[in-house]
Amino acid sequence: MQLPLGTYLGDSMQPFQRTLRAPIGCTGVGLHSGRKVCLTLRPAAEHVGIVFRRIDLPDRPLIAARWDHVIDTRRNTTLGLPDRPEASVGTVEHLLAALAGSGVDNAIIDLDGPEVPIMDGSAAPFVFLIDCAGLVTQGAVRQVLEIVRPVQVEDETGSVTLLPDQSGAPVYEMDIEFPSSAIRRQHRLVRLAPGSFKRDLARARTFGFVEELDALRGAGLARGGSLDNAVVLRGATVLNAGGLRYTDEFVRHKLLDLVGDLALAGAPLRGRVVARRTGHRLNNLALRALFADPSAYRFTPAVSASATRDGMPAPLAAAAAAPV
């Protein structure tokens, strides 16, 4: 099914699955590996989901973007196949956030290296690629992951709570606290309604402290990191010549990471996520805790059959009837 542009409902409110209209690609360096890598986003069939493909390895292994494929959460989210340790893909979170925030359900992502390019450290370059490629609506109804009962995970520094919320588009809420006076305490809440990801989160860059750099590089991380792809702080000073993109860019980026990490659920959320001083590890543990308790969630069509009229879901019929 190909619907005219005027039926676009945006983001997670859209009742049908969507994919890219055409392939599109870019080249960049991996934040942690420092390696140059080519990335191509390709259209995919209904129900495929988001799947990475390492085209530089024999047999071009497929790695589905799923919560149970997460193998490393140190300063990034890395996916891998348990039986093929070399078949991994690092720093997937910003790209996954862009795809989820743009309402893309199905895509194959070709990479010729082990890490998604960091681009400018935000999700904006990926949103730009998706916008340039365009989207097509597919025939299958989108499934959403509805939170039915609260689930919470916590560690010594933070927590993630998944809560039922039927009020509309999913809500993501974040609190962060850093000793640097450039950050201190920041709180933000975003409802992923049409356009809000692109407007409120996509441009927020990853960030780090000069003081940590030697330790990170010693651990094989941040080798490609620079002022071109991260907000870099020395104590309370932002070293980037252009300053910040949002006054609270730090908490917005943490929300971006949260959206990307929770996209590994494989379906848009229907619920509320409350995160405090969290990171990739706790974000992933939240999904593992959710899926460990079948009474806490259910997959449900984005639009119920009872809401259809003349074979078309009611919101879509209304959108189709509205002036474009």
Asked if 47 is an active-site residue, the reply is no
Tokens linked to 4: 């005219």
The single residue of 32, 69, 94, 280 carrying the catalytic annotation is 280
Is the distance from CB of 72 to CB of 78 less than 8 angstroms? Answer: yes
- Fill in the per-residue mask, 283 to 312: x = in contact with Zn ion (CB under 5 A), - = not in contact: ------------------------------
Integer Cα distance of 268 and 18 in angstroms:
12
State yes or no: residue 206 binds Zn ion (CB under 5 A).
yes
Integer Cα distance of 111 and 229 in angstroms:
19
Region of 33-41, 54-62, 198-206, 270-278 interacting with Zn ion (CB under 5 A): 198-206
Nearer to Zn ion, 219 or 318 (CB): 219
Q: How far is the CB of 151 from Zn ion (least distance, A)?
A: 23
Q: How far is the CB of 275 from Zn ion (least distance, A)?
A: 13
Q: How far is the CB of 206 from Zn ion (least distance, A)?
A: 4
Q: How far is the CB of 5 from Zn ion (least distance, A)?
A: 31
252 contacts: CB under 8 Å, gap ≥ 6: 188, 200, 201, 204, 246
Q: What are the φ/ψ torsions at residue 37 (nearest 5 degrees)?
A: -145, 145
State yes or no: residue 257 binds Zn ion (CB under 5 A).
yes
Half-sphere exposure of 261 (CA within 13 A, CB side): 30
Region of 183-191, 199-207, 218-226, 240-248 interacting with Zn ion (CB under 5 A): 199-207
Integer Cα distance of 85 and 126 in angstroms:
27
Interface residues with Zn ion (CB under 5 A) are: 206, 257
Q: Which residues are known to be catalytic?
A: 280
